[in-house]
Structure 1
Amino acid sequence: MRPFPPIFGLAAPFVPVMGVLGACFVSCGPSASSDDLPPPVILISLDTVRADCIGVYGAPEGSTPALDAFSLGADRYETCTSAAPWTMPSHASLFTGLYPFEHGAHSFLPPDDATGDNVFALNDRFKTLAEALQGNGYRTGGVVSNAIYLRPELGLDQGFADWDVERAPAPEINRRALAWLDKDRSSGRPTFLFVNYMDAHRPYRTGDPEKLVNQHLDRLLFEVMNQGELDPELAALVESLHQKAVTRLDAELERFFDGLKERGLFDDSLIVVTSDHGESFGAHAIVEHSKDVYEDTVQVPLIVKLPGQRSGRVIRDRASSVHVAGLIAGALGGTDAETLSDLFPRVPGPTAENVLVENYYSRLKDLQRFGDRFKRRRWALYDGSIKLIAGSDNGVELYDLSTDPGELTNLAEERSSVTERLLGELQARLGGPTAYEGDPVFPGNLTDRQRADFDQLGYGGSGGDRGNDAEPKENAPR
């Protein structure tokens, strides 16, 4: 079996032909009547909510009644895979329609004594969905709870006229999001709103004391990842706490949907609900996320309600977070949507390229706490139910998810011809003309407030986390 070469770092960005987005939507001007306006677009990201936390994806009945009801009048993608198992690169893919190897906004390997945050920001040369919609007359705003990996310094606010970022629970996020929608409603412009909830992220917002929840999670993390032991009862407890947080978040989503209905915005809006990544509770000796590309941390929901849609459909084609921008562009209708679709051409379908997942080393705290285990890049490539995992350490795994959803039996040797074919496809993709090339973009140091959030959310390393003091190692991708 061929070795997997240590290639594909950062070099010059692939920039699609941007051009001008064609003529503005004919109804985008301030004088247009409301009947002529393109539909409102609302994109909702549920941080750390893996697909099977939601009832229609397999969670116990009653776990998420609001999302279950929402899906009855929407397109539910049966399988959706995040482009990365953590927030920053997956949101960069969500907004650009590009994979991490193309947009370059992912973590890097820092020196051993680093004290900063090892992540590159999104290069402003890339066109985001918000920029495209703003250029077509949309009023754009984001109401964001992840104040660390969605902070403006990371470049994900490109195209948003308003970027309201502050860590807060769902009721406050709802208040701010609905207030933004109420602002300037008479402007005669369509709206694009991005809403980010963090209630299912550490510390899980269960209603229980935060300290107690973190104690259980920290104990599981230590036993699994430091001692190599898994207590099934403890794992089940932590997973139940996470599910409790998701259920509470679902109740707040119902209140947000009610707020849209009260404003006459729900029926005619294009509403997308997804997540940036999942969460692991001990499978593959992993707890939490950002550490690898197994299913626990990359299978996410994708539910798309089209304007005026009343009945639901289940879409069988595998989707990815890189498809979301294209799905939104394609759903807006008219010739301008065709122009937008040129900018964001990736959509799920039988002729779509195989879905890819990427992870680069993990975050600084994981590199410092768990030795050399995560000092590697990992990729996953899907071909139907077959999943290839390959790494810069030359590790290769192959799973048939139709019979082995837990990824327990490595078939790489047994099905060597399939393994070789998919390895060749993966190498061709990563080394192709779209690969990012150019200087890395550093986001700068954290503020005191951001540093406090950094630690509370479990991101902190052992050296004080002074921000982006961490320069890449010589052999890190650039």
Structure 2
Amino acid sequence: MKAGVDAARSAPELPPARFAACFCTAFAALGLLWMPWVLLRQVDAFLGFQTPGELGRDVALALLLLTLPAALLTLLALGVQALVARLRSAAAARTVAWSVLLLPLAWLCVWQFGSASRAWLSQVTGSALTLTATGRLLALVALLAISVLLLRGQRLSRLLARMAALLRGLHGPALLLLGAAAVWLLLHPPRLMTLTPPASGPVGAKRPDVYLITIDTLAAEDAAVCGDGPTTMPRLRALAARASCFDRHYASSNFTTPSTATMETGALPWTHWGVQIVAKMALGMHGQTLASQLRAQGYEAHSISANLMASPRHHGSDDEYTTQTISPSPSLGLKPRVALSAFPDTTLPFWLSGLIPLLDTLDVHLFPERSPFAPEHTYQAARALLERAAQGQRPQFMWLHTLPPHDPYLPPPSTKYKLLPQGELDRWSQLLGMTRYVPDQQALIDKHRLRYREAIMGADQALGSFLDELDRRGKLDGAMVIITADHGESFERGYLGHAGEWLHEAVIRVPLVIKLPGQKAGRVVHTPVSLADVVPTVADVLGLPPPPAADGRSLKPALQGDELAQQPVFSMAMEQQSRFRPLRAGHYAVIDGPHKLVLDLGANKTELYDLAADPHERRDLSATDAATAARLRQLLEQRLAAAEKKRAAQFDKP
């Protein structure tokens, strides 16, 4: 009995819930316990693509921004305390106030620790370690059970008092860290997104409007745009009937950031170096975008993107556009990322927004059967620009990037259930998302592909509606229209999704349709071409030189009906390659005529395929056709050596 009384006396008591104490407690938890796990999860990527000064600036800015949620949580706790004090007692109010403050912080820290640990285990084991809806429910039940066991035998106020005492010991280090962050930001201030649009050059000769429309995650095989067989995109095929349709067009990479940076510059990823989710284009690419070039010719340049990773804000080229916006969306998870993109030369949108992890989860339940990223949001914003452009005299360059059929595969009601009947994969929570899978799951993956194709149908309908709008306004016939995608989607080889090391056809072969001003006759081009060719092609059609950093070539001869000379085409996945180290990692593909060689540089392993005889890359010919494999590897290594020289000149310090 005496031991119990002594233990009770030695237990800390809850301090008064005042603003200074609560704020310091909240900031200590966020800055010293939560944020290190956020940083740790991406630290390799940060160190591979940021200088220590840039990383220090981002950490300092993140710490400063953490004062906002700390202050909001403090005000909430104090507000609840005042209300409870009026209804009950001061003691009860104090316990409630600290509960409101500490329990969410504890949950957030535990969640971030678990999330970082799962990501680390996935990397080490090579397994996705994803949880099904049932698994997440069981994990929640287990967490509640553990909470009950922790609370059993002691009052909640004692547990809160111990937590408060632990964090009170961190008040001093947290405030010192905050002061150091403020000093660092004074010395290394981040750039704020410009609100004043850059001026365009003088309006010279009459030039056509240019509309670049990119559809995220659109695989060429699933879209089936060129030719006359079955298609999921009848509206795009109708445009292709009066345009040039390239049926062997390759994205420069297998996910959004590097491919869309290529769309802006005509440079391949090993030139622009925007090759990782946290990586901006290299500073040497500033002023090298198509938008910058067209503005110099009197154009207004506008970007509207439904995917932040496709936006000039993410690439670091936002100040080269007349306007650049993120498509309006009801998604809760997108909102903090968009807000943080106000600092376009930082990585904050891709790690600090994890402070509100519930928002992405809430999206799954708030929009259970229809995507919150519907393409109509982008096209509606574009219509507003068209209305405004009608009042001016400048030619328009518009780059519109829509998200579906990117996961979640949630088609609109007009196309849902056209391929897969009701009752299977109806809701977002039933979809797997990007993951590895075992052969026994292939039948389930095939059903995901049917929903994906229904989403393509929905994207095609929205695209067709916008093309009709251009036609109604008299802008379609005289414009140059380019429609393509940043990458495709895999439903094979044990992988669902894109990114990673995969460079097979499903992931990198995407549609490309180009309509010249006034063009009426359609043609199909079978020569392999690259996403890096788009910018030089637009420049050539308009009578301009290509941007100096462009790696691609002009496709104008093919657009005019001439034979297009065969040239090798390159695609690459370089997420594991640091821009500060020699090229020793990554996966690289070269397509030359019917042959395709894929090189795993880190493992020194190659695969060779004859795409004419084996379009789904099931037979590796690297051993049986060693001569072709050696020739293509030599070609690829020559280009890698040239890319390495450019990398060293730009990033290696003397």
Q: TM-score, normalised by structure 1?
A: 0.74
Q: Specify the alignment match of 1:347 in structure 2.
A: 554
Write out aligned runs for 1:373-452 (5 A): 377-391=586-600, 392-432=602-642, 435-437=646-648
> Aligned partner of 2:320: which letter?
G
The alpha-carbon deviation at position 156 of structure 1 amounts to: 4.4
Secondary structure at the counterpart of residue 432 of structure 2: helix
**1:140 has 2:298 as partner:** no
**1:233 has 2:443 as partner:** yes
Secondary structure at the counterpart of residue 195 of structure 1: strand
Secondary structure at the counterpart of residue 186 of structure 1: coil
C-alpha distance in 2 between matches for 1:417 and 1:409: 16
C-alpha distance in 2 between matches for 1:158 and 1:377: 31
Is the Cα contact below 8 Å between 2:445 and 2:496 reproduced in 1?
no
The alpha-carbon deviation at position 237 of structure 1 amounts to: 0.7
1:219/1:124 CA distance change after superposition, 3 Å:
closer
Q: Which structure has the larger Rg over C-alpha atoms?
A: 2
1:97/1:151 CA distance change after superposition, 3 Å:
closer
Write out aligned runs for 1:41-60 (5 A): 41-57=210-226
Is the Cα contact below 8 Å between 1:131 and 1:160 reproduced in 2?
yes
The alpha-carbon deviation at position 198 of structure 1 amounts to: 0.2
**1:125 has 2:330 as partner:** no
Secondary structure at the counterpart of residue 449 of structure 2: helix
Is the Cα contact below 8 Å between 1:220 and 1:234 reproduced in 2?
no
Which of 78, 85, 91 lines up with 2:260 in the alignment? Answer: 91
The alpha-carbon deviation at position 361 of structure 1 amounts to: 3.9
C-alpha distance in 2 between matches for 1:308 and 1:149: 29
Q: Specify the alignment match of 2:572 in structure 1.
A: 358
- For structure 1, the residue ranges without an aligned partner over 5 or more in a row are 1-8, 12-26, 108-117, 364-374, 441-478
The alpha-carbon deviation at position 220 of structure 1 amounts to: 8.3
Q: Specify the alignment match of 2:349 in structure 1.
A: none
- Listed one character per residue, the Cα deviations across residues 414-456 of structure 1 (whole Å, up to 9, x for unaligned) are 111211111111111011166334677xxxxxxxxxxxxxxxx
> Aligned partner of 1:170: which letter?
P
Number of aligned residue pairs: 384
C-alpha distance in 2 between matches for 1:195 and 1:56: 19
C-alpha distance in 1 between matches for 2:540 and 2:399: 18
Is the Cα contact below 8 Å between 1:387 and 1:399 reproduced in 2?
yes
- Listed one character per residue, the Cα deviations across residues 315-371 of structure 1 (whole Å, up to 9, x for unaligned) are 122111000001111212xxxx143477756235754641001002479xxxxxxxx
> Aligned partner of 2:512: which letter?
L
> Aligned partner of 2:298: which letter?
G
Write out aligned runs for 1:78-227 (5 A): 78-107=247-276, 118-126=277-285, 127-150=288-311, 152-157=313-318, 159-166=320-327, 167=329, 168-207=373-412, 212-218=426-432, 221=435, 224=437
C-alpha distance in 2 between matches for 1:229 and 1:138: 52
The alpha-carbon deviation at position 219 of structure 1 amounts to: 7.7
Secondary structure at the counterpart of residue 404 of structure 1: coil
The alpha-carbon deviation at position 215 of structure 1 amounts to: 4.1
Secondary structure at the counterpart of residue 73 of structure 1: coil
C-alpha distance in 2 between matches for 1:351 and 1:220: 37
The alpha-carbon deviation at position 158 of structure 1 amounts to: 5.1
- Listed one character per residue, the Cα deviations across residues 60-90 of structure 1 (whole Å, up to 9, x for unaligned) are 7352111111110101112100000110000
Q: Specify the alignment match of 2:465 in structure 1.
A: 255
Q: TM-score, normalised by structure 2?
A: 0.55
The alpha-carbon deviation at position 221 of structure 1 amounts to: 3.1
Q: Specify the alignment match of 1:471 in structure 2.
A: none
Is the Cα contact below 8 Å between 1:73 and 1:309 reproduced in 2?
yes
> Aligned partner of 1:309: which letter?
Q
C-alpha distance in 2 between matches for 1:309 and 1:243: 29
Percent sequence identity over matched residues? 26
> Aligned partner of 1:435: which letter?
K
1:48/1:122 CA distance change after superposition, 3 Å:
same
The alpha-carbon deviation at position 150 of structure 1 amounts to: 2.5
C-alpha distance in 2 between matches for 1:326 and 1:216: 43
The alpha-carbon deviation at position 231 of structure 1 amounts to: 2.7
Secondary structure at the counterpart of residue 304 of structure 1: strand
C-alpha distance in 1 between matches for 2:49 and 2:427: 38
Q: Which moved more, 1:351-360 or 1:397-406?
A: 351-360
C-alpha distance in 1 between matches for 2:390 and 2:546: 24
Q: Specify the alignment match of 2:495 in structure 1.
A: 286
C-alpha distance in 2 between matches for 1:86 and 1:275: 10
Is the Cα contact below 8 Å between 1:55 and 1:65 reproduced in 2?
no
Is the Cα contact below 8 Å between 1:41 and 1:270 reproduced in 2?
yes
Which of 227, 230, 233 lines up with 1:64 in the alignment? Answer: 233
The alpha-carbon deviation at position 213 of structure 1 amounts to: 4.3
- Listed one character per residue, the Cα deviations across residues 366-396 of structure 1 (whole Å, up to 9, x for unaligned) are xxxxxxxxx9510001111100011121111
1:211/1:147 CA distance change after superposition, 3 Å:
farther
> Aligned partner of 1:347: which letter?
S
Q: Specify the alignment match of 1:324 in structure 2.
A: 534
C-alpha distance in 2 between matches for 1:74 and 1:38: 19
The alpha-carbon deviation at position 53 of structure 1 amounts to: 2.3
| Highest RCO, 1 vs 2 (Cα 8 Å, sep ≥ 6) | 1
Is the Cα contact below 8 Å between 1:140 and 1:162 reproduced in 2?
yes
Is the Cα contact below 8 Å between 2:264 and 2:289 reproduced in 1?
yes
C-alpha distance in 1 between matches for 2:440 and 2:469: 43
1:264/1:343 CA distance change after superposition, 3 Å:
farther
**1:272 has 2:272 as partner:** no
Q: Which moved more, 1:265-274 or 1:120-129?
A: 120-129
Is the Cα contact below 8 Å between 1:40 and 1:191 reproduced in 2?
yes
1:265/1:84 CA distance change after superposition, 3 Å:
same
Greater share of residues in helix: 2
